[in-house]
Amino acid sequence: MKFTNKMLRDNALNGKTIVVTGGGSGLGKAMTKYFLELGANVVITSRNLEKLEATASQLEAETGGKCLPVQCDVRHYNQVESMLETVITNFGKVDTLLNNAAGNFISPTERLSANAFDTIIDIVLKGTKNCTLAFGKHWINTKQTNTVVLNIVTTYAWTGSGYVVPSATAKAGVLALTRSLAVEWAKYSMRFNAIAPGPFPTKGAWNRLAWKS
């Protein structure tokens, strides 16, 4: 099998609705494209509606799928609830939540302000908590089964890492959240997973990681 071949069969996600936070660019955009190619309806969210709309138009043209852009700042629970209502209004249900929205500062920790540290915690950990809680409560209340929460973490969620301490702290919290709810909410037929991707050649990642002499 060639590494460029799709892992799943065509139409494997037909009839599924997936919400991708931070879906307007980078890894979120790449995953959204693949979901659309497999037949899913995808909702992408972030704070930047203009970017979301451009991404949705591009991906719909490339895949023929349905991609709905919804503005949402995951740091605010009321915005998450409003976003969920929009998803339900448009598609009737949601099957999968992909907590991908993130932020990071590559910096010596002593140079970070308390507000800078809080910003990363709020987006990564609090944002993941807000979305998971809103979607999870909805699934429990509506008795929907076979739902999935997929959280994007990092390898340093296990090991820790200098110069990305706010992100490492937040991602470790997301990992603990994933493990905890995988046990507690299994009785509601929810499946929780976390993946820690390696480097992806996206503009944001490469601008931060590329060596500059």
Residues with a catalytic annotation lie at 156
Q: What is the CA radius of gyration of the chain?
A: 17
Q: Residue holding tokens 């997929």? A: 150
For residue 192, what are the β-bridge partners? 149
73-86 in b/e form (b: 16+ CB < 10 A) is: bbbeeebbbebbeb
54-67 in b/e form (b: 16+ CB < 10 A) is: ebbeebeeebebbb
User: What is the Cα–Cα distance from 19 to 87, expressed in whole angstroms?
Assistant: 8
Amino acid at 134: A
Q: What are phi and psi of 159, to 5 degrees?
A: -100, -20
User: What is the Cα–Cα distance from 65 to 15, expressed in whole angstroms?
Assistant: 11
For residue 99, what are the β-bridge partners? 151
